[in-house]
Amino acid sequence: MGKRRRPRIVVVGAGFGGLWAVRTLAFEPVEVLLVDRRNHHTFFPLLYQVAAAEIEPEAIAFPIRGLLRRFPNVAFEMAEVRGIDPAARRLETDGPPIDYDFLILAPGSLAHTFGVPGVAEHAFFLKDLDQAVALRNHILSVFERAAREPDPLRRRRLLTFVIVGGGPTGVEFAGALAELIARPLRRDFPTLDFREVRVLLLEAMAEVLPGLPAVLSAYARERLRHLGVEVRRRAPVAAVGPDRVRLQDGEAIETATVVWTAGVRGHPLGAALGLPLGPGERVPVTPALQVPGHPEIYVVGDLALPEGPGKLPMVAPVAIQQGTLAARNILRALKGRPSLPFRYRDPGTLVTIGRNAAVAHVFGRAFTGFAAWLLWLGVHLIRLIGMRNRLVVLSGWAWDYLFYERVVRLILPSLPVRGK
């Protein structure tokens, strides 16, 4: 008799949910395969700083194989998952299929256009590193083009930046963009009249940072105004074109740059399960994070929609806690123990708005200003994976803070990347 085969757990997605699931399963008597179509983990919370030319994209990426070296029972495959056959317990990929005993799906989310015409074709997004780099290259390119543009109308259009969505990503990027323009680009382009530059933040609802205490939203809005950002509330977008964005009230804003941060939806892999999806194309799961009818399939992170009252935010702490719980529940199932339900321990919310300012909603307390900003810096530096990445990010922040300099003002790659 050969030795008994260890259960094989396949984890799809090397974001926060997938990585924390793998960490929990490391050194346990199971065989783990992590699958991702990229070879690196991305630290999403700092994507907007890549787009604002503050840090290089490599600084918030970490090679997955480097993370897994110390785990003897974990392997990695760079593959794109294209289908799921729950009956056969098999994943279809761009290469050989992958069999599993247990499956943890953590593919994350994509931008949600809500069907607004032109968004997919003309807007920029901040959901992955390629998009952040494309946006950085575009921003620097429109300034270069504006510097050569004699026609004032075309020049104003090139210098108008519209950010759609007043959530944390929109607010943080608007602040970072305004500061990039105010000092580094103003010094780079002495021949441009910077009164022609506009940064607008459009929020469909009554207030930015919805879900946070009103005092924090008001502070964020005031800080953005102080940085020169025109904050428009109750300004839903009707359509996006190559040269303008049109609001639902009929107003048209001429712009070459629309950044869409208005919403996210579950990754298309959720549909491959062949089950009805919930709001935002997310997969409804049991309190233990299992797919109904398939207790061997867990969904965690942005794609998961656990049943019950209360909507969970699509943020890293939820993914981390869910990835950990899904892995624990699998280990419990293997020992014949009952599953544990997911309970979110909210570590709070931190949103930074330019230098020296942030809003914090932590331990039920709301505070703002320099202390919140320092807390934001510390938390993000600690969470970042890789000592050298921390060094590189910290040096990018230091150059920005001390010299008002954005060190990565590079249009690179010079060749256009396919897709936006």
Binding region for a copy of itself (CB under 8 A): 37-40, 56-59, 61, 63, 65-66, 69, 75, 77-79, 95-96, 128-130, 133, 140-141, 144, 147-148, 150, 187-189, 191, 386, 388-389, 391-392, 395-396, 399, 405, 407-419
Q: Any residues with CB less than 8 A from the CB of 134 and at least 6 apart, and which?
A: 124, 417, 420
The smaller minimum CB distance to a copy of itself, of residues 130 and 346, is found at 130
Closest distance between a copy of itself and the C-beta of residue 322, in Å? 25
* Helices 316-334, 16-25: inter-axial angle, 10-degree rounding: 30
The smaller minimum CB distance to a copy of itself, of residues 13 and 170, is found at 13
Closest distance between a copy of itself and the C-beta of residue 69, in Å? 6
Closest distance between a copy of itself and the C-beta of residue 81, in Å? 13
Closest distance between a copy of itself and the C-beta of residue 265, in Å? 20
The smaller minimum CB distance to a copy of itself, of residues 14 and 331, is found at 14
The smaller minimum CB distance to a copy of itself, of residues 150 and 338, is found at 150
CA angle 83/94/276 to nearest 5° reads 15
- Exposed/middle/buried for 147, CB within 10 Å: 0-12, 13-18, 19+? middle
Closest distance between a copy of itself and the C-beta of residue 290, in Å? 29
Q: Which of 245, 52, 235 is nearest to 162 (CA)?
A: 245
Closest distance between a copy of itself and the C-beta of residue 37, in Å? 7
Q: Which of 296, 276, 288 is nearest to 88 (CA)?
A: 296
172: annotated active-site residue: yes
Report the C-alpha gap between 348 and 162 in whole angstroms: 28
The sheet carrying 244-247 orders its strands as: 237-240, 244-247, 252-254
The smaller minimum CB distance to a copy of itself, of residues 290 and 389, is found at 389
3-state secondary structure of 138: helix
Report the C-alpha gap between 127 and 174 in whole angstroms: 15
The encoded tokens of residue 7 equal 């259960």
Query: Which is catalytic among the residues 172, 203, 207, 281?
Result: 172
The smaller minimum CB distance to a copy of itself, of residues 110 and 277, is found at 110
DSSP-assigned states of every residue in 243-265: SEEEETTS-EEE-SEEEE-S-EE
Q: Is the preceding omega at residue 413 within 30 degrees of 0, hence cis?
A: yes
Report the C-alpha gap between 59 and 62 in whole angstroms: 8
The smaller minimum CB distance to a copy of itself, of residues 156 and 409, is found at 409
Which phi and psi angles does 263 have, rounded to 5°? 180, 165
Closest distance between a copy of itself and the C-beta of residue 145, in Å? 8
Question: Pseudo-torsion of CA 70, 73, 76, 77, nearest 10°?
Answer: 160
The encoded tokens of residue 266 equal 């579950």
Residues belonging to the active site: 172
